């Protein structure tokens, strides 16, 4: 089954820029950006990010305000703060043996960096990988990681799998099944998340008086390290 998957991937795998490098910093950037953001949106932002900060030391030396501004449009800005802080820790102390010690790096992200950049024999389990494994009941190793991700993203879809195109279909016990829709993400419009994003956009443009801003949103952004409040002025952190 794994050989069939890899043969399919050789012909149909997505050409993504982070697959052309073994630099752990570049892979970490891609994995953090891909958290809750679609691949098509990430690709140009990833390229621009590495053009601006090509190394972990370059990012570590950057101003926090510049990092937050560069992240605009990707959402969930706390990821940018975590990535920046991780770069500062790596620049100071090197890469930890346990990557989950870095801010914002959970088990999946740590395994992805280990697999794709460090050559570790570990299979990172994201939503797509988990879905393919559970449906096919196949036994796949680390060499199949990218192939499983692509198969789950383009063929073994969450609701209506494209079984006629699947290289695992002949031996798959789930062939032909259809699935209930997953719970949709809470709508952004009118949410507190939208209020936070609006305030952050304003402050990213220029320092603002606190009296002009949503105080609850400012408080949440300050707790996340995304803004600083000095007296009655709100600005991005240095």
Active site residues: 31
Tally of CB atoms within 10 A around 114: 18
Kindly tell me the burial class for residue 220, based on how many C-beta atoms sit within 10 Å of its own C-beta (0-12, 13-18, 19 or more): middle
Instruction: State whether residue 225 is helix, strand or coil.
Output: coil
The residues facing 235 across adjacent strands are 228
**3-class DSSP string for 99-127:** HHHCCCCCHHHHHHHHHHCCCCCCCCCCH
Residue 31 and residue 26: Cα distance in Å, rounded?
Answer: 9
Q: To which H or E segment does residue 235 belong?
A: strand 233-235
Residue 178 and residue 132: Cα distance in Å, rounded?
Answer: 14
Angle in degrees, 0-180, between the axes of helices 107-116 and 24-34, rounded to the nearest 10: 140
Q: Two tokens at 115?
A: 């697999």
| Among candidate residues 170, 127, 115, the one with its CA nearest the CA of residue 151 | 127
């Amino acid at each position: 089954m794994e050989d069939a998957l890899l043969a399919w991937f050789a012909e149909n795998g997505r050409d993504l820029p982070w697959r052309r490098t073994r630099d752990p910093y570049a892979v970490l950037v891609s994995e953090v950006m891909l958290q809750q953001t679609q691949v098509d949106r990430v690709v140009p932002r990833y390229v621009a990010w590495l053009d601006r900060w090509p190394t972990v030391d370059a990012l570590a030396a950057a101003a926090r305000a510049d990092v937050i501004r560069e992240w605009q449009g990707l959402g969930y800005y706390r990821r940018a703060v975590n990535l920046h802080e991780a770069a500062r820790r790596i620049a100071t102390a090197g890469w930890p043996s346990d990557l989950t010690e870095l801010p914002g790096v959970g088990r999946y992200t740590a395994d992805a960096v280990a697999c794709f950049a460090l050559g570790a024999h570990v299979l990172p389990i994201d939503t797509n990988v988990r879905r393919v494994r559970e449906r096919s009941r196949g036994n796949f190793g680390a060499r199949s990681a990218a192939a499983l991700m692509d198969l789950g993203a383009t063929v073994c879809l969450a609701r209506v799998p494209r079984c006629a195109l699947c290289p695992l279909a002949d031996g798959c016990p789930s062939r032909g099944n259809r699935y209930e829709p997953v719970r949709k993400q809470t709508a952004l419009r009118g949410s507190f998340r939208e209020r936070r994003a609006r305030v952050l956009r304003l402050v990213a443009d220029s320092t603002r008086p606190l009296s002009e801003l949503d105080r609850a949103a400012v408080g949440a952004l300050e707790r996340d390290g995304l803004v600083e409040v000095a007296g009655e002025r709100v600005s991005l952190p240095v």
